[in-house]
């Protein structure tokens, strides 16, 4: 009952004119960002962080805007998957298997509408899961001491590469790079400058917002420039006929059990640190194919093959917010970016968030319900508008991304030094992407490095330097075991997982 009362209070916060307007804007922009191949939710949220600060938004409105972009991008990824056979982001890969064949049959409108409904079902029930599971997880997290938190952070680094990771060694290298960057600045305990090279501007360390915008947003601009603004197109959205824009009732009845099963599987995958929406989409599609594909229709335009991955990846997106809010450990790349936003607002995610900042967390959760409804209403009648976005040349979009990045960061800090740091991280992000080194572990290292170091120091101080204190409790032992298997599993099972993912043209030809 306390949970429902808190949620009701959250709705009173979310239903203000400002927050409703921000949710609507975030949903609209998120859908467009998700529909554009290559951007995805992580880049979309990173691009709009400077805008949120430039507008002077408080914590709750800023988070409502960015999480609406997050959910909207998860919805939008299906559009280019179905129309062009190009996934808007990695979780939408599985949607291409049956979505594009449906489009070729002249059922593009039905596929888009059905996938929108499946996305709504997955996200809606995942948000209810967040409502009831996160407070319970908080009770467990209150048992954590410094040693347990250090093990938890190690678990986050070990698993964030995810089962889809192509190379765990590169993921570990990226995490080490992020931790090294986090060490820059004056040591809070000894007062000794570290890795500042005599530069006064580095005494306060690297601003993680500057790093995030550079690594995600500016690197995307540099990738575009590298290809001289002429990326290879693999389809033409204008050549696809949408047809009927509402699925028949028989199709909804056929896919309803699929949506239910996929929502449960996707949510579980999202709650697991590092699994994320890609695994939720893959598991949902694979399980559904084994259960119901008696006539071998999956892969030929079966509506259930569209509903399963969309319900799964959107449920996983909601599930990934559970460890981020309750434990302060992101469950996916996008929630790592959202974690940076919370820290920048002097709000510490974790067990005390629900006690110290209930208005923020419950207002955010209530806004997720409202945003889901907005996205459902928006994505069916306005789908033809979002399709036209695919026709906008990238040469017009990328300058806007660069402008928002520079103006936003300068508006936050007023420092030209931060602009140079942002450009440096943009070049670094471009280089890492060329080398296929994941960016999310770098961000996680910058975000959690100082907290990880502080908890290690506390544990050593309490135990008088005894390293065995890190394994003194059953909880910490369990976290270390989970971290070990989480790091090993992608090596063992990752090859099988990736072999089942459809190859995109960008994967087949890196040029």
Angle, CA of 353, 359 and 361, to the nearest 5°: 50
Read off φ and ψ for residue 193, nearest 5 degrees.
Answer: -65, 140
| 193 membership: H or E segment, kind and range | strand 193-194
For 191, residues 6+ apart whose C-beta sits below 8 A from its C-beta are: none
- Is the Cβ–Cβ distance between 129 and 319 less than 8 Å? yes
Which pLDDT score is estimated for 263?
92
Token match 């959107």: residue? 314
Q: Which residues pair with 186 in a beta bridge?
A: 193
For 181, residues 6+ apart whose C-beta sits below 8 A from its C-beta are: 206, 211, 442, 445, 446, 449
Which pLDDT score is estimated for 317?
85
- Is the Cβ–Cβ distance between 146 and 353 less than 8 Å? no
Which pLDDT score is estimated for 136?
81
- Is the Cβ–Cβ distance between 367 and 68 less than 8 Å? yes
Tokens representing residue 36 in the block: 């554009």
> What are the C-alpha distances in Å from 292 to residues 114, 176, 224, 288, 303?
18, 44, 42, 6, 12
Which pLDDT score is estimated for 462?
87
- Is the Cβ–Cβ distance between 68 and 371 less than 8 Å? yes
Which pLDDT score is estimated for 259?
92
- Is the Cβ–Cβ distance between 263 and 289 less than 8 Å? no
Residue whose C-alpha is closest to residue 325's, from 337, 342, 312: 342
Burial class, 256, CB count within 10 angstroms (exposed 0-12 / middle 13-18 / buried 19+): middle
Q: What is the pLDDT along the chain (511 residues), one digit of tens a residue?
A: 678 888 898 899 888 999 999 999 999 888 888 877 667 787 788 888 888 887 888 888 988 999 899 888 888 888 877 877 766 666 777 888 888 888 888 888 888 888 889 999 999 999 999 888 888 877 776 677 888 888 888 877 777 655 445 677 888 888 889 889 988 888 877 778 888 887 888 888 888 778 888 888 788 788 888 876 554 444 455 555 566 667 788 888 888 999 999 999 888 888 876 556 667 787 888 888 888 877 788 878 888 888 888 998 889 888 888 888 888 777 777 888 888 888 888 887 877 788 888 888 899 899 999 999 998 888 777 777 766 766 667 777 778 778 877 877 777 777 888 889 989 999 999 999 888 888 878 887 887 788 888 888 888 888 888 888 888 888 888 888 888 887 777 666 655 555 555 554 433 333 3
- Is the Cβ–Cβ distance between 119 and 314 less than 8 Å? yes
Quick one: how far is CA 303 from the chain centroid?
26
């Amino acid at each position: 009952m306390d949970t429902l009362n808190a949620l009701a209070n959250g709705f009173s916060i979310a239903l203000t004119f400002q927050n409703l307007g921000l949710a609507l804007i975030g949903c609209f922009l998120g859908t467009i960002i998700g529909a554009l191949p290559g951007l995805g939710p992580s880049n979309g949220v990173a691009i709009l962080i400077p805008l949120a600060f430039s507008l002077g938004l408080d914590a709750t409105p800023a988070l409502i805007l960015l999480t609406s972009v997050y959910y909207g991008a998860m919805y939008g990824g299906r559009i280019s998957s179905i129309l062009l056979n190009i996934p808007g982001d990695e979780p939408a890969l599985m949607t291409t298997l049956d979505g594009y064949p449906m489009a070729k049959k002249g059922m593009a409108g039905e596929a888009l509408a059905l996938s929108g409904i499946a996305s709504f079902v997955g996200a809606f029930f995942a948000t209810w899961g967040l409502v009831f599971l996160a407070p319970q997880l908080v009770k467990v997290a209150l048992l954590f001491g410094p040693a347990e938190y250090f093990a938890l952070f190690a678990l986050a680094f070990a698993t964030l590469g995810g089962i889809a990771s192509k190379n765990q060694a590169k993921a570990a290298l990226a995490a080490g790079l992020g931790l090294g960057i986090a060490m820059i600045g004056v040591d809070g305990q000894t007062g000794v400058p570290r890795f500042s090279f005599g530069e006064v501007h580095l005494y306060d360390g690297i601003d993680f917002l500057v790093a995030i915008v550079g690594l995600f947003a500016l690197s995307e601009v540099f990738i575009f420039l590298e290809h001289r603004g002429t990326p290879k197109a693999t389809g033409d959205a204008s050549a696809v006929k949408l047809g009927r824009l509402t699925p028949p009732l028989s199709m909804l009845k056929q896919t309803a059990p699929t949506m239910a099963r996929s929502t449960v599987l996707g949510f579980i995958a999202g709650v697991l640190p590092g699994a994320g929406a890609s695994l939720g989409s893959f598991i949902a599609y694979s399980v559904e194919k084994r259960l119901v594909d008696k006539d071998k229709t999956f892969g030929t335009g079966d509506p259930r093959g569209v509903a399963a991955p969309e319900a799964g990846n959107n449920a996983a997106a909601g599930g990934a917010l559970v460890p981020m809010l309750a434990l302060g450990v992101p469950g996916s790349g996008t929630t790592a970016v959202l974690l940076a936003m919370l820290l920048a607002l002097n709000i510490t995610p974790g067990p005390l968030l629900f006690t110290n900042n209930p208005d923020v967390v419950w207002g955010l959760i209530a806004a997720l319900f409202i945003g889901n409804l907005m996205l459902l209403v928006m994505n069916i009648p306005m789908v033809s508008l979002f399709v036209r976005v695919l026709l906008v040349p990238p040469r017009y979009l990328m300058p806007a991304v660069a402008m928002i990045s520079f103006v936003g960061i300068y508006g936050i800090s007023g420092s030209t030094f931060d602009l140079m740091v942002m450009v440096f991280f943009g070049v670094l992000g471009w280089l890492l992407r060329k080398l296929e080194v994941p960016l999310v572990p770098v961000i996680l290292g910058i975000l959690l490095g100082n907290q990880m170091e502080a908890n290690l120091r506390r544990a050593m101080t309490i135990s008088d330097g005894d390293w065995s204190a890190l394994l003194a409790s059953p909880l910490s032992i369990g976290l270390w075991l989970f971290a070990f298997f989480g790091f090993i599993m992608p090596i063992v099972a990752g090859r099988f997982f990736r072999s089942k993912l459809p190859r995109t043209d960008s994967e087949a030809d890196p040029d």
